[in-house]
Amino acid sequence: VSPDAVTATVVDALDALVGLPYDGEPVDQLQHALQCADHARRSGAGRELVLAALLHDVARSPHVAGEADDAGPLDHGQQGARWLAPLLGAQVAWLAGAHVAAKRYLVATESAYAAGLSAVSARTLRAQGGAMSPEEVATFEAHDGWRDAVALRRWDDLGKDPDARVPGVAAYVDDLREQARCAAGC
Ligand SMILES: [Fe+2]
């Protein structure tokens, strides 16, 4: 599959997030994705982490046939990762997929974090398995990208501002094409 075809597939999946409710949060799924990516970019994150922030909830897109909730064997992060891996490579997929795990990690390791979750996010935490066990924390920290996954999670929690004005999907097309090229071997 050519980088242009991958880019078109990903852009279509993102565009289909417009107007989709984000649980009870005050932004739609597309605004949420764009705000998370913008936080990543302004924080100086590299291309893979910016794109993972943009695409972390892509499993919510009707173009990515995911399950309705996180009670199944794969949560929506893992479902998104499975879709992303052949398109944009293993690292983008892992970072995107780890955002549910990173929330469970932060709940286990930062007492203030759980208290700061939105009401919606606190409610979904239960379906996602609650706080990580000490063994799960150790396994998570053994992964090279765990700090980036935690950073993405914090942008995820910030990307719910109804008044934010951020660049649209077009701002990420060059990075998507370059990443698709690299995922195919660069
Ligand atoms: Fe999110």
Are 136 and 120 a contacting pair, CB within 8 Å? no
Supply the pLDDT for residue 69: 61
Are 75 and 66 within 8 A, CB to CB? no
Of 37, 41, 39, the residue nearest 10 (C-alpha): 37
pLDDT of residue 182: 93
Q: How far is the CA of 100 from the centre of ligand 1 (A)?
A: 9
Would the pLDDT of 74 be above 90?
no
pLDDT band at 67 (very low <50, low <70, confident <90, very high): low
Query: 115 CA to middle of ligand 1, Å?
Result: 18
Q: How far is the CA of 177 from the centre of ligand 1 (A)?
A: 23
pLDDT number for residue 5 = 97
Interhelix angle 76-88/173-183, rounded to 10 degrees, is 70
Check residue 118 and give its pLDDT.
85
Tens of pLDDT, residue by residue over 120-146, are 888 889 888 999 999 999 999 999 999
What global pTM score does this model have?
0.93
- Rounded to the nearest whole angstrom, what is the distance from the C-alpha of residue 94 to the centroid of ligand 1? 15
